[in-house]
Structure 1
Amino acid sequence: MARIVMKFGGTSVANLDRIRAAAAFVRREADAGHSVAVVVSAMAGETNRLVGLCAEAGEPAPALDARDVEYDAVVASGEQVTSGLLALVMQNLGYRARSWQGWQIPLKTDLAHGKARIAEIEGEALGEAIDSGEIAICAGFQGIAPDGRIATLGRGGSDTSAVALAAAVGAERCDIYTDVDGVYTTDPRLTKQARRINKISFEEMLEMASVGAKVLQTRSVELAMRYKVPVRVLSSFDPPDAPGPGTLICDEDDIVEENVVTTVTPDFNEASVTILAVPDEPGRAAGIFDALAAANINIDMIVQSASR
């Protein structure tokens, strides 16, 4: 009996009909005898709605203060609603299921409210629960900070929650259910020549995610690669009794034949910053990047040249 983590994105739990469809996939794995933990996102559009309410009430400050903490308390509620609804649906189908919030697992984070990083996951209680036959429905995107308050992991953080939980409980794999049936050679909405990839290495998927592919969050791929957690990308819009093969993200040693070029990925959400007249002396670059790191700003590429 294998432990499996299943994650459903916002479009896969957009309403009660979609939640019932997700429950059918969970039911299939449970009936196969697997120990199942499920990670859910908020319903499609719900996080944006909650962020909008926070903006009306008062935007979070650039630096950490009480408003950032309350922002997390508000936006984390979307996943809590979804986890409770899916647990109710599973119970109505006759399964023993319950919702788990981030603080109940517990998934421990640092203090960077709004874009926290996972510090530690104590997976013993969750593992024992699913091995006993319970289906654990976990709220993604959230954990508990050292100050005892809810902390969110940033947009797309449910992917990171799912892979981290899979690593913590020693899952055989992590299945990511979304509105596409796998990873493609390029964005299928932009070109009809895009083809689904059967297998892709962690390194290739990380490169894709870092340059703009929206299938998985970059941090989730980093975790999967670090802990060697196989990840499958599947469509929740396929029939539960006949799902497609999806795309397996795995170690490159598990791929027999590699392509010279795997994908072409467009990125429409990248900012370029140029710093001029930086003195050519030891410690200057470190001072710049230390400040960016302290502000939890991710850098994709560094290009250095002689300044004016």
Structure 2
Amino acid sequence: MALYVHKYGGTSVGSVERIEHVADKVKSARDAGDDIVVVVSAMSGETNRLVDLAKGITDQPNPREMDVLLSTGEQVTIALLTMALQKRGCAARSYTGDQVRILTDSAHTKARIRHIDVDAMRNDLKAGRVLVVAGFQGVDELGNTTTLGRGGSDTTAVALAAALKADECRIYTDVDGVYTTDPRVVDRARRLDRITFEEMLEMASLGSKVLQIRSVEFAGKYNVPLRVLSSFEDGPGTLISLEEETKMEQPVISGIAFNRDEAKLTVLGVPDIPGVASRILGPVSAANIEVDMIVQNVAADNTTDFTFTVHRNDFDRVKQILTEVANDLGAREVRGDSAIGKVSIVGVGMRSHAGVASKMFDTLAAENINIQMISTSEIKVSVVIAEKYLELAVRALHSAFELDEPAESR
């Protein structure tokens, strides 16, 4: 007998009919002899509805009360799914975050998990019950309801799997696994059988929306095998685990990630003096704006051009900040471009293979695509290019690194 934690997102439980479908899947897994813990999100659209209700009262709702409000979405789902399981003759019990005792800090709307008390859950599992747990929520030491922020239900599922020492955490979603790239851009993209935590972290940080970064970090830290599967069709999905378990026959590149939501800003003619980078980026950081890629070029006249990227939604605000900074520094001008994109190749095989970056650059050059910025890590190479060439670049790289699905297997 194995122990599996299942997680179903909002789309998977978006209606009574879909909840009934999930109940069928869970009962089948339980009938196979395995212990099952199910973590669920709020029904699709419910969290937005609750946020809109709060905004109808005030533009700045109290964070503690927002947590009380938003946590109700998952409580609806756990009750309905438990009822559906019981109707099928499957012993089941629902748990809120407080009832599990998912202890968090007191950072409302973005709490961090400190400890999980699983004694009651273990007793229920021994009694043969399926446990249905509300994702996204916990409780602080004072008994206040807290929520875990974006991707919170995935984090709940992985944290429970770690605390219970589950054999696997299975994330059921609207896709059947992790692909070499977005199938909507490359129709010959392949579903990966396996991928490492490192690779998945890079893919998630670079724009892949299959899993939230925080849950992958948690799984990697506690060595919880993750599997991404479809809620709507059967299949093996994609297993995410430690590199040591996937080294044999590891391809050089596992996937290609891309992000359209990038913008680039450059401060030209900055005095080349110590601390200038801090003076440029300090005000940006103070405005709670994240910076991604950074390039600094020193000119012969003892000035430097300082370029970095931000999320496109922050472009206008950052440009305004930089205009003030440039005046203070005596810089020549500020330039910006919000029509860029980032393309990245990711793979642990890059550690043991030379020439990967040059192959990437040669491929883009053959398509007459100019590279504006470059960033690298041990298992990733990212480039900034004009947005209009983004999909062309992804398709060309996908083919060049032999990631295309063979025609005969399609």
Instruction: Decide whether the 8 Å contact of 2:7 with 2:172 is kept in 1.
Output: yes
* Residue 252 to residue 69, structure 1, CA distance change in 2 (3 Å): same
How many Å separate the matches in 1 of 2:7 and 2:199? 21
1:230-270 deviation line (CA, Å, top 9, x unaligned): 111111101xxxx2011111111111222222111222446
Within 5 Å, which residues of 2 pair with 1:21-32? Answer: 21-32=21-32
How many Å separate the matches in 2 of 1:199 and 1:2? 20
* Residue 270 to residue 222, structure 1, CA distance change in 2 (3 Å): farther
Instruction: Decide whether the 8 Å contact of 1:71 with 1:114 is kept in 2.
Output: yes
Residue of structure 2 aligned with 1:96, choices 91, 115, 140? 91
Q: Which has the higher contact order (CA 8 A, sep 6+)?
A: 1
- Give 1:251's aligned amino acid: L
The gaps in structure 2 that reach 5 residues or longer are: 297-303, 307-330, 332-410
Instruction: Decide whether the 8 Å contact of 2:40 with 2:78 is kept in 1.
Output: yes
C-alpha displacement of 1:228 = 0.7
1:86 matched to 2:81: yes
How many residue pairs were aligned? 294
Instruction: Decide whether the 8 Å contact of 1:60 with 1:71 is kept in 2.
Output: no
Instruction: Decide whether the 8 Å contact of 2:151 with 2:214 is kept in 1.
Output: no
* Residue 191 to residue 108, structure 1, CA distance change in 2 (3 Å): same
How many Å separate the matches in 1 of 2:51 and 2:121? 30
Residue aligning to 1:43: 43
Instruction: Decide whether the 8 Å contact of 2:193 with 2:239 is kept in 1.
Output: yes
1:188 matched to 2:190: no
Residue aligning to 1:142: 137
1:195-247 deviation line (CA, Å, top 9, x unaligned): 11110001000111111111111000001101111111111101xxxx20111
**Cα RMSD between the aligned structures?**
2.7
1:19 matched to 2:10: no
How many Å separate the matches in 2 of 1:119 and 1:271? 36
- Give 1:303's aligned amino acid: I
Residue aligning to 2:259: 267
TM-score (norm 1): 0.87
C-alpha displacement of 1:70 = 0.7
TM-score (norm 2): 0.66
How many Å separate the matches in 1 of 2:240 and 2:86? 32
C-alpha displacement of 1:155 = 2.2
How many Å separate the matches in 2 of 1:59 and 1:216? 30
Residue aligning to 1:213: 208
How many Å separate the matches in 1 of 2:115 and 2:267? 36
- Give 2:257's aligned amino acid: T
* Bigger Cα Rg: 2
Residue aligning to 1:159: 154
How many Å separate the matches in 1 of 2:109 and 2:267? 27
Which structure has more strand as a fraction of its residues? 2
How many Å separate the matches in 1 of 2:173 and 2:121? 24
Residue aligning to 1:254: 245
The gaps in structure 1 that reach 5 residues or longer are: 62-66
1:156-189 deviation line (CA, Å, top 9, x unaligned): 2101110011001100000111111000111112
Residue aligning to 1:64: none
